[in-house]
């Protein structure tokens, strides 16, 4: 199974030629919102079931542990989808299950605009996400215009590490091409923010866009205004 190796040391962009800080954005509930209930409701409705009950059944049968394996890259799509069916006690056709599981995202437009502004300003941008192959394929297609502004996507299933492990943040810092103290990590989960700070990154606990902009300005990052991203 594919594993991204730790990136080799490269010559970073001279600090005189680029902004001081690199920014590392979480994906889920920062750059885009996700709603797993949407997937369960879609699957359940086609079978005369109730989405929340189906979800509870699957998680009680071990889906959380299975999803963790998948996000670590320890199992492939087919094994994960077979496991989903087993946990749910159903025999959902794999294309239907893949579509339902993947199609759960909605862009956070103000954060996307911020990403474009920061990219226009020359900041090095990295995405750091605990995610799975199905989700990553979906959001790479769905949000290609904003994701192409990132210099690198650090995805848990590709590196074999999840936030808040030290190793995950080490990959992010390596791709940011800045020392840890010149990286700003942005995440909506307090445990991940604490993990980033523990290894020397600056970190912001994301709640909403005005708070994020205030916290960035407090660190000396003032986004360039006026970018209108393409649809």
At 10, list the tokens: 């490269």
Residues 163 and 67 in one domain: no
Residues 60 and 151 in one domain: no
Is 231 among the domain residues?
A: no
Residues 211 and 119 in one domain: yes
Residues 53 and 129 in one domain: no
Mapping DSSP to helix (H, G, I), strand (E, B) and coil, where does residue 208 land?
coil
Q: Where among 63, 79, 102 does a domain terminate? A: 102
Q: What is the pLDDT of residues 55-107, one digit of tens each?
A: 999 999 999 999 999 999 999 999 999 999 999 999 999 999 999 999 999 99
| Structural domain harbouring 46 | 36-102
Residues 110 and 167 in one domain: yes
Which residue, 92, 98, 82, is CA-closest to 54? 92
Could you give the number of structural domains in the chain? Answer: 2
Residues 111 and 29 in one domain: yes
Residues 142 and 206 in one domain: yes
Q: How far apart are the first and last CA of the chain?
A: 35
Q: Where among 46, 74, 102 does a domain terminate? A: 102
At 143, list the tokens: 């949000």
What is the C-alpha to C-alpha distance for residues 31 and 169, in angstroms, rounded to an integer? 18
Residues 59 and 24 in one domain: no
Digits of tens for pLDDT over the chain (231 positions)?
Answer: 556 665 554 444 444 456 789 999 999 999 999 999 999 999 999 999 999 999 999 999 999 999 999 999 999 999 999 999 999 999 999 999 999 999 999 999 999 999 999 999 999 999 999 999 999 999 999 999 999 999 999 999 999 999 999 999 999 999 999 999 999 999 999 999 999 999 999 999 999 999 999 999 999 999 877 655 544
CATH of the domain at 158: 3.40.50.1000
pLDDT computed for residue 4 by the predictor: 65
Q: Where among 53, 81, 102 does a domain terminate? A: 102
| pTM of the full structure | 0.90
DSSP 224: P
Is 146 among the domain residues?
A: yes
Q: What is the pLDDT of residues 43-68, one digit of tens each?
A: 999 999 999 999 999 999 999 999 99
Is 230 among the domain residues?
A: no
Residues 75 and 86 in one domain: yes
Residues 96 and 112 in one domain: no
């Amino acid at each position: 199974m594919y594993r991204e190796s730790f990136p080799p040391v490269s010559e970073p962009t001279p600090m005189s030629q680029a902004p001081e800080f690199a920014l590392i954005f979480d994906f889920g509930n920062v750059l885009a919102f996700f709603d797993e209930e949407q997937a369960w409701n879609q699957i359940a409705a086609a079978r005369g079931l109730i989405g929340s009950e189906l979800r509870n059944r699957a998680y009680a049968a071990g889906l959380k542990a299975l999803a963790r394996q998948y996000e670590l890259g320890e199992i492939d799509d087919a094994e994960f989808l077979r496991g989903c069916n087993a946990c749910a006690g159903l025999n959902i056709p794999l294309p239907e299950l893949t579509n339902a599981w993947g199609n759960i995202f909605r862009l956070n437009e103000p954060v996307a605009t911020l990403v474009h502004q920061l990219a226009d300003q020359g900041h090095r941008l990295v995405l750091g996400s605990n995610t799975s192959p199905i989700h990553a394929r979906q959001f790479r297609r769905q949000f290609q215009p904003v994701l192409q502004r990132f210099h690198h996507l650090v995805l848990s299933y590709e590196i074999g590490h999840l936030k808040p492990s030290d190793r995950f943040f080490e990959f992010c810092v390596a791709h940011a091409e800045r020392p840890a103290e010149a990286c700003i990590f942005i995440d909506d989960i307090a445990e991940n923010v604490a993990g980033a700070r523990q290894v020397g990154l600056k970190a912001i606990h994301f709640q909403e866009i005005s708070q994020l902009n205030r916290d960035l300005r407090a660190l000396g990052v003032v986004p360039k205004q006026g970018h209108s991203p393409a649809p």
